Structure formats: structure tokens, C-alpha cells
Amino acid sequence: MESSVRVKLLTFTPTPDDVVAAAARLCYSPSTAEDLVVEFREGKRQSGLFIRKLINSGHLSPLEHASFTFAVDGISRACSHQLVRHRIASYSQQSQRYVSMDEARYILPDSVKVDARALSIFKEAIRYAHEAYKSLVESGIPLEDARYLLPNAWETRIVVTMNARELHHFFSLRLCKRAQWEIRRLAKLMLTEVRGVAGGIFDIAGPSCITKGKCEEVNPCGEPYGSMEELLN
Amino acid sequence: MESSVRVKLLTFTPTPDDVVAAAARLCYSPSTAEDLVVEFREGKRQSGLFIRKLINSGHLSPLEHASFTFAVDGISRACSHQLVRHRIASYSQQSQRYVSMDEARYILPDSVKVDARALSIFKEAIRYAHEAYKSLVESGIPLEDARYLLPNAWETRIVVTMNARELHHFFSLRLCKRAQWEIRRLAKLMLTEVRGVAGGIFDIAGPSCITKGKCEEVNPCGEPYGSMEELLN
Amino acid sequence: MESSVRVKLLTFTPTPDDVVAAAARLCYSPSTAEDLVVEFREGKRQSGLFIRKLINSGHLSPLEHASFTFAVDGISRACSHQLVRHRIASYSQQSQRYVSMDEARYILPDSVKVDARALSIFKEAIRYAHEAYKSLVESGIPLEDARYLLPNAWETRIVVTMNARELHHFFSLRLCKRAQWEIRRLAKLMLTEVRGVAGGIFDIAGPSCITKGKCEEVNPCGEPYGSMEELLN
Amino acid sequence: MESSVRVKLLTFTPTPDDVVAAAARLCYSPSTAEDLVVEFREGKRQSGLFIRKLINSGHLSPLEHASFTFAVDGISRACSHQLVRHRIASYSQQSQRYVSMDEARYILPDSVKVDARALSIFKEAIRYAHEAYKSLVESGIPLEDARYLLPNAWETRIVVTMNARELHHFFSLRLCKRAQWEIRRLAKLMLTEVRGVAGGIFDIAGPSCITKGKCEEVNPCGEPYGSMEELLN
């Protein structure tokens, strides 16, 4: 069965914009951190503008005080292998060593989906691999060894926690049109989720065409994004 | 003026016990992370017992999904220098480069406080250093250079974010009786704060005399803690 | 074609034992770091005994000053996915997005190898997946999408750098009999390599049965190692 | 006694340019890592040009395979407090808790040195603080408490290990004219050292005026560097 990516923001640091802004202000202020949070929470100061200045000035460490935890389902093992290469983050992933894969759930690339012959080859190969996997399990081969036959396309589930600084870094790399389509799709859903709760921090995010107003890639894609709206559609 | 340490839990990942337990279960379960969080939040499963098993088995990575942010006031620069050596954490610290130190606020060690002669030497030295600092500032020396005269005892303020795994590591080192008194005092206040909101995760925490039931130090202090109550008093 | 793991120590910090010992001594000594390195290099002090004391006392941070870089070939993508979960390390991995997989090179689990029927199913499934992959590539499907059909067993190559502290942590987890066989095999080869050049640092390394003299696992394997010799054979 | 900063490259990954280049090439090549290192070492490929392309394209992770360890003497505790805020690095620092400070060794800011009155205030304050420290020690106050009186100017020693990626990040921040003078001076010496052994990796390094050809600071200093020569003089 074809799976598709689902992202749910499981939990996050409450009022992330205010926490980040207060921590940043502490560096230059004689006030206590607690008083500063209150000022932002009560609206005496606007965290949004303050955060934009922070980000523009490259003073990014205060962004680390806000964390976001996502439940991600319906991504391939190819995608999760890319994802976990981001080391300033925390992961809990469903294990193919312990969970039996009774049902064939896989990710189908668009390039395959639109090509009838390729689609048929793809589905047949998935089916074949799954049958072989099940045969091995039935013969008594341990799950952890039978899974050597499961393809990269196989669905996985993972809980991911990143702080806002690392998320910005992640979005700058993985929302670029030169990133692979599957992790781009995941990153877009993650960005949409965090913009709903941290509109100041993630007002502007993504590749350099968005954040710097011009592409900084050595081999540009040639079709830079013009706006956040375009990026998120 | 003598300062003393104040710790305020500014913010944290809501329902930390449930988030950690759900992430951990995902690794071995065919359910989605979202469903697992709901099961724990609704009390269908008990996160407390589950987390204790996790920690005992050394499967610590799920603890990283819960973060805690503290406002810390009234610690010395000696103490903050030790604190920031913990690298899996985020810090925003009041800068002596930008904030003028008009008032003398300092940390006074107990060993000095109980010794009248030492106390007098200490206070006089603080006063002298502060006067010299102010003279330099008045002569036009930049704040960032005048502060070279400020002593280690000088008060600083810092916002600290650590996840629950790093907090356990921090508590194991810094609540040991062989740690320095100032950072022990800080760690104790931090532990008290997080136990109030994450009783499962921090039910047991501290040096090996508490967590392992026996001292693992090469040079033991000889007076191991007998219980969490004793540690927290 | 069946592949098997090959590990080559590409490069490392020269005289790692002496560097670690000198850095550790600096903390408690009025000498300069440079003089301390010379003392160890010239044999005036013995780094071996000194390092053993360090490790026993849990003062592990000086171990970070020595780094080791391995070229690893012949591991499966299942194994590399586990490997890169170790975040305090650096990786450069051959990309299935850019390198065409013209030849079928895969890792074969022992449990399959010893079972004629399973072996036949396994090999046939590998062959089928590779044929499907090649058909997709010939139809013009991009490499990065065709690889969704490649199985976990597929061979990958990776350059890994870890410092000595992280290596000790890696060995403690991955040389335990409860770790998966493939990463255990990899870890054993890595340990053999580093013992050849850093005999002091890695004199004792591995799971708790070796380093603590008793198993600390919640679910012990029941067959603890008795000695480093047994572990390395 | 006035101290001044001394930096000695204690050790480093041998042939760092070749190792980095080979690791980077592995990602896109069907060769083994070992063969690639040989090609670069034997000069069949030029690592210098290759590394410049890497850095320009923002593909920075291969830089992590080369590490550099510095012995740093003659910096103030103010400076070491800034230094250790770089978390992707390893430190071993001389401890004021264990090493008695019998001699007054301190860092003197230039702004003070050129102002006779300020200089006299400064030196007198250092002397006063040291006398008070020694009085406390003589009265039986523990070293770890007596040091609360030592000023930020006090000399410290530290062993620092950073990989080439983090060094580039460090240089981009700390060689900017807006960074504090003491850590700039330290960074310049560190850069000079690594350029001697890793000319490819550190051919271009420093703030954005050097690496990007234009200042990216929000509040520019107004006097951007024109060349590496100017930066290093």
C-alpha cells in the first residue's frame, strides 16, 4: 500500500517566540530573564520584530531555547537515513529489528507514479521483496535479518525533536529545490506546523533565495522561490 | 551586596513524562507516535514505571525529547564557567561587555562567611576591585576592558536549556559531594524545579550513590547519600 | 556478489596516548601543555597507567583530543543507518543518489547463509530487486528514485571519524552481544585497528562485562565476555 | 606579571587536505576511500582546488575529518569563558580549584596599557586581589574559594581541539573586527598555525568581508579586510 508523509507537531516549548526573545535580550540587559519573559508575554515588547533582528544579525543561539517535537509517519527509510544525518536533533525510530512488517507499506516516487511501465515494475518489485521477507520470517530467520530484503522505499515512523536554530538550518538545506523531493515534502510540512505556533521565529525560513533574497548555491536550480507563499504552496 | 542563587523554571516541554514514554514505545510498537502519546496522557498506560525501566536499561535517547529552560540568577562567573562546559545545552548569558556593573553583586563562599577575618579581607577586596573598575570606566576605558578587574565572585545571569538526558548527566556529576559547592547548590535547585513537573523522569537522579545504590567514584567522599530526600534537603 | 566488511584506519591523531595524557594532566598541573606532551613522548611519564586512572575515574573529556578516521567498506545500508545514529562523529557516505549501482553488492546475514532454502530466496530477491532497479534506470527514472527499490542489504561505503571518548561509548554499546551482529563485527574491526596505535586508550574497551567486570544490562545475554582476548577473537 | 597569548599546534590529523578531499569525493565516486586518499597523497589529484569548491558550495561536513589540537597559554579567564562557549570542540583547562596561583600572571588590555593612570589603577588592583587571595589561602580558605577573588584578567591555560569545519566557523566569528580584541588575537594565531599544515583547507578563512567578499554584519565595522595578508598582519 502506498503511504504518504504525515507530520504532527506532538509538543513544543510554550510561547516559543517570547522565550527566545527574552533569552536574547538578557545578554544586553540588566533585568532578570523572568521579568523579560513577562514583558514579552504581556505584549509590552513585541517578540516578532525583535526576533527578526536577531536572525538578520546572525545572533542565532537564543533560538535554541525553543524545541519542537514532531511525529512523522509515512516516510521511506531512504528519507529517514537522510533525516538522521542532522546530528543536532533527537530521534526515536520504529525498529525493523523488533516490529514485524506484516503489511507492505512503501513510498512511491512521483517519477515512477506517472510512468505506467515503471509503476508496474516498482509495485511488482515491492511485492516480490515483501513475499521473500515473509518467507524468510516463516522459515525462522530473525526479523532483524529478514529485513535485509526490505527496500529503501519501505515506510518508517520516527519522532524528531529539533530546536528552532537547527530547524532553520534544516529548512535552509532541505527546502531548497535541489534537495531530494521526499525530504523537501517532509520539511515543508514541518515548517507549516511550526509557523502555526511560532510565527515570529519562522516568519521567514528556507533556502537562501527566500532568506537572503538571492541564491547562494554554486549550481543554482534556476527557479528561485519568490516568496514564502510560493514556498509553502 | 552578597547575592544568592535563584533558579526559576522558565518553560519546558508540556507533559514531559508522557512525551518521553511515547517516543520510547514507538521504537518497539506498530502504533503511531500520536496514538501512543494519547494513551499515556489519558492514563491508559503509566509513563512513570515505563520511564524507570528505560533509564535502568540505559536506553536514554528518548529522554532528549523533553527540554527544560531555567532562568538562573545570582551565580558567580566561576560557577557559570563550569556550567557552560556542559556542551549539550543552550545558554544566553548577561554580557559584561555590554552591561555596566554599577553595583557590586557577588557570591560569598561559606568558608569565607564563617571566618570573620577572611570575610573582612574578601569584602574589602571586592570593594577595591569594584572601585578600580569604576575608575577605569570613568577614565574612558571600554566596559569590555574594565571588566578584566572584576573578580570570579561577580554575579552573572544566564538562561539555560537542557534536555532531560543531559540533565540526568549534569545531576550525576554536579550533585556529587565532590563537586564544587556552588554548582551543587545550583544543581539541587534545578532538580527540585524539574521534579515538580516531570516526576517520572526525575524520580531518581543524582550521583551513583543514589542512582546505582553505591559510589562509583575512584576517590569516594565517604558520606554517600542514602536517599533522594537526603539529597534534596 | 556477497560483500564483507573491511575497515581501514585511514588516519588518526599521532601519538594519541601521549596527547590525551598530557591534556588530562594540564588540569592539575602548573606546567604548560607542550612541556607535558614532551614528558610523555620521551617516556619520562607513562601515559598508559595515567590513562587507565583517567578512565576509571570517569574523567573522560581528555579522550576527546584524539581522533580516528576509518574507511569502512562492505557494510549494509541497514548497518550504516544504525552507525550514523551516533551523533558525536563525522560521516562521509557514498550516495545512492549520485553513484549508479551497476553491480549487485550486498551483505548476507549468517542466519541466511547457513539455511539453503533461505539463501536461495535471499539471493533471488536481491537479483530481482537489482533487475527492477536497472529497468527503472533504463526507463529514465532518476537514480535517486530508482534506488527506492534497493534493499537494506545493499553495500555502502562510508568514512567515519570519532574521537576516543565517543569510540569508547560506541564500543560499550556495539560490542555487547545484544547488539546486532553486523555492527558488532564492524565495531570489533574498528577496535582492533585503534588498539594497534593507541594501546593505552583502548587497553580495555567494550561492554560492561569487560570494562566493569560485570554485566549492567537489564536483560543480560547470559554469556558475558571473560577477557579482551575473547572479545577480539 | 603581564602575560601574552602563546599558541602552539600540539598535534593534528596528518595530511589534512588530502583526508578531507578524499572523504568528500567518496560521496560521488564508486572508488574506495582508501584509494581516494592515495590519489590525493600521490598528487594525482589536487586537494586544494577540490577543497575550495567544497567550501564554496557549502558542502562542509567533510571538513570534520581533520582535527587540530592547540596548546593555548597566556589568555585571560574572560577570554577562556568566551572560547568554551564554542560547543563543537574539546577542552582541557588548568583548574583554579587545584592549582595554586602563587604568582600574579594576568592579561593587560591595550586600552589600559596606553593610559598611564589607568595602567596604574589596573596593576594596583591586580596586586591587591592577589594579596587578598594569598591571605585567604594562608588563613586556610580552600583554593577553590580563595579564587573567587581572582580577576577576569587572570591567566589560564587550555588545550583546545577543533575540527576544520568548526575552526572555519570560529574564524568567521572571532576574526571579525567586531569580536573582542583578545579572542581575535588568539584566533589569528590559531589560523596562522593551521595554515602552515593545511594550506588547502585554510587558504581562505575569516569574517564575511574575506570569505564572501562583502560584509554580512548588521552593524558593520566600516573597515572590512581587503585580503588574507591584511587579516594576518
Is B46 marked as binding a ligand? no
Q: What is the mean pLDDT of residues A80-90?
A: 97
Q: Tell me if D27 and C98 make a contact (CB, 8 A cut-off).
A: yes
Mean pLDDT score across all residues of chain D: 94
Q: Is pLDDT of A174 > 90?
A: yes
- The CA-atom distances, in angstroms, between D176 and each of A12, A128, A193, D97, D227 are 35, 59, 36, 33, 13
pLDDT digits (tens, 9 = 90+) for D193-225: 999 999 999 999 999 999 999 998 888 999 999
Cα B153 to Cα C14: distance, rounded to the nearest angstrom:
40
Nearest residue, CB atoms, B57 vs list C53, C58, C218: C218
List residues in chain D touching C: CB distance below 8 A. Answer: 8, 10-15, 19, 22-24, 26-30, 32-34, 37, 61-62, 64-65, 67, 69, 71, 73, 90-95, 98-100, 157-159, 161, 163
> What digits encode the pLDDT tens for the residues C98-134?
888 889 999 999 999 999 999 999 999 999 999 999 9
> Which one of C125, C145, C147 has the shortest CB-CB distance to A129?
C125
Chains touching chain B through at least 3 C-beta pairs below 8 angstroms are: A, C, D
Please give the pLDDT value at position B98: 81
Report how far Cα D41 is from the mean position of its chain's Cα atoms. 28
The pLDDT tens digits for B189-219 are 999 999 999 999 999 999 999 999 999 888 8
3-state helix, strand, coil in chain A (%, to 5): 50, 15, 35
Which band of pLDDT confidence, cut at 50, 70 and 90, is reported for residue D55? very high
pLDDT for the residue A104: 92
How would you write chain D as a 3-class SS string?
Answer: CECCCEEEEEEECCCHHHHHHHHHHHCCCCCCHHHHHHHHHCCCCCHHHHHHHHHHCCCCHHHHHCEEEEEEEEEEHHHHHHHCCCCCCEEEECCCCCCCCCCCCECCCHHHHCCHHHHHHHHHHHHHHHHHHHHHHHCCCCHHHHHHHCECCEEEEEEEEEEHHHHHHHHHHHCCCCCCHHHHHHHHHHHHHHHHHCCCCCCCCCCHHHHCCCCCCCCCCCCCCCCHHHHHC
Partner residue facing B73 (CB), from A27, A32, A61: A32
Residues of A in contact with B72 (CB under 8 A): 33
**Which residues of chain C fall short of a pLDDT of 50?**
none
Task: State how far residue A143 is from chain D, nearest Cα, in angstroms.
Answer: 30
Flag if C91 and D8 touch (Cβ within 8 Å). Answer: no
Residues β-bridged to residue B69: B11, B161
What pLDDT sits at residue B31? Answer: 85
For residues B97-125, give the mean pLDDT.
Answer: 94
Other beta carbons within 10 angstroms of residue D127's beta carbon come to: 12
Q: How far is A68 from chain C (nearest CA, A)?
A: 19
CATH of domain D6-91+156-204: 3.30.1360.170
For C75, nearest residue in chain A (alpha carbons): A148
pLDDT at position D46: 86
pLDDT (mean) for A81-103: 91
Is position A41 annotated in a ligand binding site?
Answer: no
Does D56 contact A219 at a Cβ distance shorter than 8 Å? Answer: no
Query: Is pLDDT above 90 for A38?
Result: no
Residue C178 labeled ligand binder: no
B185 is in an annotated binding site: no
Q: Which of C8, C28, C90 lies closest to D64 in CB terms?
A: C90
Residue B229, classified by CB atoms within 10 Å of its CB into exposed (0-12), middle (13-18) or buried (19+), is exposed
Active site residues of B: 174
Of all residues in chain A, the one with the smallest CA distance to D58 is: A217
Average pLDDT on D135-145 reads 96
Segment B74-91 shows an average pLDDT of 96
Residue C159 has its nearest CB partner, among D11, D23, D157, at D23
**What does DSSP say about strands C6-12 and A6-12: parallel, antiparallel, or unpaired?**
unpaired
Q: Do C85 and A80 touch (CB under 8 A)?
A: no
Quick one: pLDDT at residue C156? 94
Q: Give the model's confidence band at B172: pLDDT under 50 very low, under 70 low, under 90 confident, else very high.
A: very high
Band of residue B99 on the pLDDT scale cut at 50, 70, 90: confident
- Stronger pLDDT, B118 or D36, i.e. the higher one: B118
Distance CA C39, CA C42 (A): 5
Interchain CB distance below 8 Å, A11 and B10: no
Q: How many residues does chain C have?
A: 233
H helix or E strand, kind and range, residue A157: strand A155-163
**Has residue B27 got a pLDDT over 90?**
no
Contact between A118 and C125 using a beta-carbon 8 Å cutoff: no
Collect all residues from A whose CB is shorter than 8 A from any CB in B.
8, 10-15, 19, 22-24, 26-30, 32-34, 37, 61-62, 64-65, 67, 69, 71-73, 90-95, 98-99, 157-159, 161, 163
Smallest CA–CA separation between B216 and chain C, in Å?
8
CATH number for the segment(s) A6-91+156-201: 3.30.1360.170
Grid cell, residue A158, equals: 520516527
B93 contacts A23 by C-beta, under 8 angstroms: no
The number of angstroms, rounded, from the C-alpha of C164 to the middle of its chain's C-alpha atoms is: 12
What gap in Å lies between CA A35 and CA D120, rounded to an integer? 40
Chain A adjacent subunits, 3+ CB pairs under 8 A: B, C, D
pLDDT at D9: 96
Query: Which residue among C84, C132, C151 places its CB closest to the CB of A149?
Result: C151
Sheet containing A67-76: which strands, arranged edge to edge? A6-12, A67-76, A155-163, A90-93
At residue D109, the pLDDT reads 98
Is B178 annotated for ligand binding?
no
Are C26 and D61 an interchain contact pair (Cβ–Cβ within 8 Å)? no
Judged by CB atoms closer than 8 Å, whether chains meet at C129 and A124 is answered as: no
- Please state the φ and ψ torsions of residue B157, each to the nearest 5 degrees: -125, 145
Q: Which of C10, A25, B199 is nearest to D41 (CA)?
A: C10
User: What gap in Å lies between CA B72 and CA B75, rounded to an integer?
Assistant: 7
- CATH says C8-91+156-232 is which class? alpha beta
Question: How far apart, in whole angstroms, are the C-alpha atoms of residue A128 and residue A116?
Answer: 18
Look at residue A95 and tell me whether its pLDDT is greater than 90. no
List all chains that touch chain C, counting a touch as 3 or more CB pairs closer than 8 Å: A, B, D
Q: Which one of B163, B218, B221 would you mutate to disrupt binding with C, by most C Cβ within 10 Å of its Cβ? A: B218
Contacts of B92 in chain D (CB under 8 A): none
- Domain B6-91+156-232, CATH class in plain words: alpha beta
Q: How far apart are CA A166 and CA A187, in angstroms?
A: 12
Beta strands in chain B (DSSP E): 6-12, 67-76, 90-93, 155-163
Averaged pLDDT of chain A: 94
Helix (H) or strand (E) holding C112: helix C110-113
Residue C190, pLDDT score: 98
Rounded Cα distance between A54 and D143, Å, is: 41
Rounded CA gap, B221 and B203, in Å? 24
Output the pLDDT for position B219.
85
Quick one: how far is CA C30 from the chain centroid? 37
Residue A74 has pLDDT above 90, yes or no: yes
**What pLDDT, on the 0 to 100 scale, is given for residue C231?**
96
Return the closest-CA partner of residue D73 out of D164, D181, D189, D176.
D189
pLDDT band with cut points at 50, 70 and 90 for residue D185: very high
CA-based nearest residue in chain D for residue C60:
D92
Q: What is the pLDDT of residues D60-115, one digit of tens each?
A: 999 999 999 999 999 999 999 999 999 999 999 998 888 888 899 999 999 999 99
How confident is the model at residue C218, as a pLDDT?
81
From the list A49, A118, A153, the residue with the least C-alpha distance to C77 is A153
In this prediction, the answer to ipTM > 0.90 reads: yes
As given in the structure block, the three cell numbers for residue A62 are 537564543
Is A95 marked as a binding-site residue? yes
D192 or B58, which is more confident? Answer: D192
The distance between the two most distant Cα atoms of chain A, rounded to a whole number of Å, is 70
Separation CA C210–CA C215 (nearest Å): 8
Q: Which whole number is the average pLDDT over D131-155?
A: 97
Contact C56 B219 (CB under 8 A): no
* CB A28 within 8 Å of CB A54: no
Residue of A nearest to B98 (CA): A28
Extents of the domains making up chain A: 6-91+156-201, 97-153
d(CA C117, CA A135): 10
Torsion angle defined by CA atoms of residues A205, A210, A213 and A217, in that order, rounded to the nearest 10 degrees? 100
Whether residue D128 and residue B125 make contact (CB cut-off 8 A), yes or no, is yes
Q: Supply φ then ψ for residue B71, to 5 degrees.
A: -95, 120
